[in-house]
Amino acid sequence: MIECNWLRFFSKIGGIKNGDSPTLRMLKSDVVSVVLDKCSNMKYVNDNGNDFVLEDGTRIELKTKKSVFLKKIQKTSNITIMNTRGGTERGKTFDFLLLIQTEKPYRVAHIDWESLQEHITYIEDACVAKSIPYNKLSFIDTDFFDWELEVKPWDLQESVMEMIRSKV
């Protein structure tokens, strides 16, 4: 299924600073997705309801969080799958949900659409996956969890500002 050079991926995204501010959150998501595209066999498509496609047509939705895997309770934190914008959109838009924890300890897991459904709740205008137990997830490459990576801090806001200044 998913093939990725996780060491390269986490060494690139592990240093992103200030990407969780409301202003930069979407940009950080795009940066992480582009890096994942470059480090894996997944093609970044940013389609309606899925982010990546494998060569065989498998559709993957990506969700990243600083701390998505809650070790003490052996479950995930709540994950917003999609904003329904007040609609009742509930159709299948991806085959697998890929979860990536972007701060140490770095972790990656996935769950198929069908298994995910028992953990889905619709709240106001969002579709949320609530507390997925570890035993429902397929963890990927668990040997890299304790890597000590050499990451260079990367100020996302300053990078954007430098780009803007160079174009003005």
pTM confidence score = 0.87
Cβ contacts of residue 94 below 8 Å, gap of 6+?
A: 49, 50, 59, 60, 61, 113
The structure tokens listed for 39 are: 């480090």
Please tell me the least confidently modeled range out of 12-16, 61-65, 94-98. 12-16
Q: Indicate whether 105 belongs to any domain.
A: yes
The structure tokens listed for 21 are: 């501010």
Stretch 127-150: mean pLDDT, rounded? Answer: 80
Range of the domain at 115: 6-167
Question: Which is more confident, 13 or 15?
Answer: 13
Is the alpha carbon torsion for 29, 30, 33, 35 positive or negative?
Answer: negative
pLDDT tens-place string over residues 40-57: 999 999 888 899 999 999
Q: Indicate whether 30 belongs to any domain.
A: yes
Q: Indicate whether 1 belongs to any domain.
A: no
**CA dist., res. 61 & res. 75, Å (int):** 19
Q: Indicate whether 22 belongs to any domain.
A: yes
For residue 139, the cross-strand partners are 109
Domains of the chain: total:
1
**CA dist., res. 123 & res. 125, Å (int):** 6
What is residue 43's predicted lDDT score, i.e. its pLDDT?
97
What is residue 85's predicted lDDT score, i.e. its pLDDT?
60
CATH number at residue 85: 3.40.600
